[in-house]
Chain A
Amino acid sequence: MQLSLGPILYYWPRQSIETFYEQLADMPVSVVYLGETVCAKRRSLSAAEWIELARQLAANTDKQIVLSTLALIEAGSELSGVKKLCNNGELLIEANEMGAVHLLSGKKLPFVGGAGLNIYNAHTLTRLAALGLQRWVAPIEISHNALSAILSDAPALGLSEDVETEVFSFGRLPLAYSARCFTARYHNLPKDDCQYKCIDYPQGLPMDSQEGENFLTINGVQTQSGAITHLLPYWQEMEQLGVSLMRISPQPEGTTEIIQHYHQSIKGETKTVSTIEPYLSSPICDGYWCGEAGMIAVREVTA
């Protein structure tokens, strides 16, 4: 089992992004996804600057660096940004919607299929693999049993053994995308004049029930879970299914420690394993993986 670092889902200032990636050497991940996937108005780095950062990281680390595309493409300008990433000429791309898949498969380029591609069965997976998909991130709501059925039936449909499976394993879950910006709505601002308010919420804006339960998280046009998914306890059953990567989603604090904790636990370095509790800014959930409501915590946090 290997670890990956997902793209930063929040709007962080340029300095924070640079500082964050300077710590990569201390993060035992094999794959790093980079880029703006939520809102094209967030411009800490332009598409060209993301590509440049990705190139530098690829040259200076032994990790696989992947550029991640926008999850919702509406405007022509957004499509142009995605084209720029797809035309970078060297680095692998994670396609987060079908437009990017088309751009990449049209150029016969291999790609990673993001969780938003809605791959719910082996027929779809095999079809996309024939178009160049070499790794896929399972849909956020997929359960162990559903993934098991896909991975056991896929080879008979012709899926190559080389196609890798990744599971979103730690962080607030990206649950939905909209044309509306809910951060701007909270501030009574129109999206066209949002004043880039998302930058004030480096891990999103909590949206609680009227009883104070931390139900969801506002992140601009994206809605995330309130709870943090934490699937470390399931890494062995994932490995048995054939999952090769567990994705950790960046948080403003403690990402390195969380990755270390996952790494040490998986490598069996039990004596040195650090605790994860200080870095859990919300309750945890693992319901989706267990076939329950996503928000449910089936297991307690374990070391």
Chain B
Amino acid sequence: MKLVCPAGNYPMLKAAVDNGADAVYIGFRDDTNARHFAGLNFNDNSAAKAIRYAHDRDRKVYVTINTYPQQSGWDRWQRAVDISVDLGIDALIVADIGLMAYIAETYPDIAIHLSVQGSATNREALQFYQEHFNVHRAVIPRVLSMPQVEQLAIDSPVELEVFGFGNMCVMVEGRCLLSSYATGESPNNFGACSPGSAVRWQETDDELEVRVNNVLVDRFPKGDHAGYPVICKGRYRVAGDTYHAIEEPTSLNTLELLPELCQAGVTAVKIEGRQRSTAYVSKVTRVWRQAIDHCLSNPQDFQAKAEWMQALASISEGRQTTLGAYSRPWQ
């Protein structure tokens, strides 16, 4: 079981490598990746430095080019691929079929990982990407239950990577337009969800309101923890009831499923959070490294230690974690 960790800048990459990541994934400073945030990500020089640091320590670097190229900007996506290959990356994480075709034809030796944004949730979809573009690994959306993951691992023609920890998409990744419905910009077309420019915090006498492009997404009593207003974690009114109609602010944490995931033959577990801090990456990587080593050496006796779970809860959105779709009752 390989541990794949996020890095939004060079210090985060070092933190991931130093704390035991097997691979680190990064993106460039534009809309070619799904964490297109101001001040985040790599340029050609910092990417080269990052790759050197990781390769010197025998770790891998993946580059995410996982938004859907707009026709008018096609060259930007193609250039991101060319630069990555020049820099000597170990795999490209891609969602778009056109871009995959370009990679498969231009650089047949480069490993393609199907991004979670590619929304492949079943055997036939995985076969499609394998047959046509020689995809090597697929990151599967956070919608499958544990038995479904197990079945898919048996049937899959490619390696599987699953999400282990971090912010949780409730919707199938790559198939969610809630952000662009409210703001015009989505993960697919822009690489952002509830982009910061559309978010407005407003204090009233006793409340904090948060709006996304003027839509009231939530209001909090003063002093309450207020999470980032992605549309799916807001509080809305349905037939007179006001509640988190889609999902509460919570993070995914599948640490306790590690033995099952290993047993199922899942190749890698992915940590979300390129937009988080160096401290976050250090902490989450350290915990997962220990847990994976523990699980691999003694799978029968594996138990998620309380100190691990506490460490992960302390850096979770909304200070709570869930098994998400892996657990059937969540669905």
Which residues in A have some Cβ–Cβ distance to B below 8 Å?
A: 71-76, 78-79, 97-103, 105, 116, 118, 120-128, 131, 139-141, 145-146, 149-150, 153, 173, 175-182, 185-186, 190-192, 205-213, 215-216, 218, 223, 225, 287-288, 291-295
Contacts and interface: CB of A to CB of B under 8 A. Distances in A.
Contacts of A74: 121-122, 143-145, 148
B174 interface: yes
A140 B181 CA distance: 10
Given A98-B129, A120-B70, A209-B215, A186 B238 contact: yes
A215 B125 CA distance: 32
Interface stretch (B184-192, B269-277, B279-287, B292-300): B184-192
Given A124-B98, A207-B236, A210-B235, A75 B148 contact: yes
Interface string B159-176: 000000000001110111
Interface string B298-326: 00000000000000000000000000010
A125 B131 CA distance: 18
Nearest to A157: B98
B331 A218 contact: no
What's the interface size class on B, roughly? 35 or more
Contacts of A192: 328, 331
Contacts of A210: 216, 218-219, 235-237, 242
Interface in B121-144: 121-125, 127-129, 131-132, 142-144
9 contacts: A72-B121, A98-B118, A121-B71, A122-B71, A146-B70, A176-B178, A207-B236, A210-B242, A292-B184
B183 A182 contact: no
Interface in B66-100: 68-72, 74, 95-99
A176 B236 contact: no
| A-B residue pairs, 3 tightest by C-beta | A123-B98, A99-B124, A102-B128
A293 B219 CA distance: 22
A60 to B, nearest CB: 33
Interface of B: 68-72, 74, 95-99, 101-102, 118-125, 127-129, 131-132, 142-145, 148, 151, 170-172, 174-178, 180-184, 186, 188-189, 213, 215-219, 232, 235-239, 241-242, 245-247, 325, 328-331
B207 to A, nearest CB: 11
Contacts of A212: 237
A102 B120 CA distance: 12
Contacts, number: 219
B276 to A, nearest CB: 24
Given A185-B245, A205-B238, A123 B177 contact: no
Nearest to B78: A123
Nearest to A82: B124
Contact of A71 (B71, B175, B219): B175
A150 B72 CA distance: 8
Contact of A209 (B74, B180, B237, B329): B237
Nearest to A145: B72
A98 B174 CA distance: 12
A191 B71 CA distance: 39
Nearest to A183: B238
Contacts of A191: 328, 331
Given A175-B176, A225-B181, A293 B238 contact: no
A294 B172 contact: no
Contact of A121 (B98, B186, B246): B98
A187 to B, nearest CB: 10
A145 B189 CA distance: 13
A187 B281 CA distance: 38
B257 to A, nearest CB: 15
Given A102-B124, A178-B143, A293 B177 contact: no
Interface centre among A74, A79, A99, A100 (most CB of B within 10 A): A74
Given A127-B97, A141-B180, A121 B236 contact: no
B5 to A, nearest CB: 25
Nearest to A124: B98
Contact of B122 (A79, A207, A291): A79
A99 B128 contact: yes
Contact of B181 (A145, A182, A295): A295
Given A122-B71, A179-B145, A223 B182 contact: no
Contacts of A215: 215, 236
Contacts of A294: 177, 180-182, 184
Contacts of A76: 151
A118 B237 contact: no
A223 B171 contact: yes
Contacts of B176: 175-177
Contacts of B189: 120, 141, 146
B172 A178 contact: yes
B119 A97 contact: yes
A260 B232 CA distance: 36
B249 to A, nearest CB: 15
Given A102-B125, A177-B172, A180-B246, 16 more contacts: A79-B123, A97-B119, A99-B122, A99-B123, A101-B128, A118-B95, A120-B70, A121-B74, A150-B71, A176-B178, A182-B245, A190-B331, A210-B235, A213-B216, A225-B181, A294-B182
